[in-house]
Amino acid sequence: MTISFKCKTSEAYQMKVLAELMTNNIKNGCFNVNEEGLSLRMFDQPRKTLVDLDLFSDNFSRYKFKNETKLCLGLNLNHFHKMLKSIKKKDSLELFIESESPNELGIKTIPKENTRITTSGIKIQKIQNVELELPVGYGKPVVIPSPDFQKMCKELSSIGSANIKIMASETFIDFVADADDILKRKVRLGENGDSDSESDEEDGKKHYEATFTTDQFSRISKIAGLSGTMQIFPGSDTLPLLFRSSVGSLGKISIYIKSKELIDKELDDHSDDSDDSDDSDE
């Protein structure tokens, strides 16, 4: 059996959580694989959420890449997640491609006791992936314990509000849900300065306000299972809100989500560009 690609990690559980996070946002994923590792950069179908993933070869316990050119692994992410669903916290995972079966990704799950090894396969699809530039220009992030973010998502979605408003300062972010003025809840994540000093007053000033659908946060809440802490970078009039986390010790993931205000602005800008184009044609 000749192998063109193989990677193995003891962090199978993080890979399972990652697969669930990705399938909640992207239906079909295109992974670029080379000597340096695995990467993915894709929008969801409505182009409201951008996922940027890097898993580095040096961080896997075993990593082999024998292809002359990079591989593009197109996967149905729902199917990929199904193949990983039975993984437990101390299991290991091996992904591989045999040279004789270049259109199939092999998935081997190995329990800690090494007594029952399961090998599955998933078809590799041809998926066109457009190269995307990442948004730039962010300031300092607010660093929070990852479980706090997941709790916030559950608490705010439970009151039935369709939207969540964000108000961010230098050191903390307020998430506010309002269900038709009947129920209202605010969750603050980050450091809340209690001092009367001018610097703390400055830290408390709101630097960013935006509105998102509750579903946008529900779909990325699984990011909390990838690492103990995460970073939240407030957006701006032209930048989406950015969430960044380590993927265990394997790499990192960044998720950019557009606010309602930013989506409306992009639609207006596109409409203006179309009007200008029509005028020039006359």
Alpha-carbon distance values, 157 to 164, 167, 210, 243, 253 (Å): 9, 17, 17, 19, 24
**Which DSSP string do the residues of 223-279 spell out, in sequence order?**
GGGS-SEEEEE---SSS-EEEEEEETTTEEEEEEE--HHHHHHHHHHHHHHHHHHHH
What pTM was estimated for this model as a whole?
Answer: 0.90
Q: Give residue 172's pLDDT.
A: 95
Task: Please give the residue range of the domain that contains residue 63.
Answer: 3-123
103: nearest Cα among 128, 135, 80, 73: 73
- 221 part of a folded domain: yes
Q: Give residue 258's pLDDT.
A: 96
The DSSP letter of residue 153 is H
Report d(CA 254, CA 242) in Å as an integer.
7
Please tell me whether residues 169 and 108 are part of one structural domain: no
Please tell me whether residues 165 and 247 are part of one structural domain: yes
Specify the higher pLDDT residue, 23 or 268.
23
For 23-51, the pLDDT digits (tens) are 999 999 999 999 999 999 999 988 899 99
pLDDT at 119 over 90: yes
For residue 196, what is the domain's CATH number?
3.10.150.10
Who's near 99: CB < 8 A, 6+ residues apart?
Answer: 2, 3, 4
Q: Give residue 275's pLDDT.
A: 58
Please tell me whether residues 163 and 256 are part of one structural domain: yes
pLDDT at 96 over 50: yes
For 146-189, the pLDDT digits (tens) are 999 999 999 999 988 999 999 999 899 999 999 888 899 999 99
User: What is the pLDDT confidence band of residue 195, given thresholds at 50, 70 and 90?
Assistant: very low
Alpha-carbon distance values, 261 to 58, 110, 187, 237, 254 (Å): 40, 46, 21, 8, 21
Please tell me whether residues 146 and 241 are part of one structural domain: yes
Q: How many separate domains does the chain show? A: 2
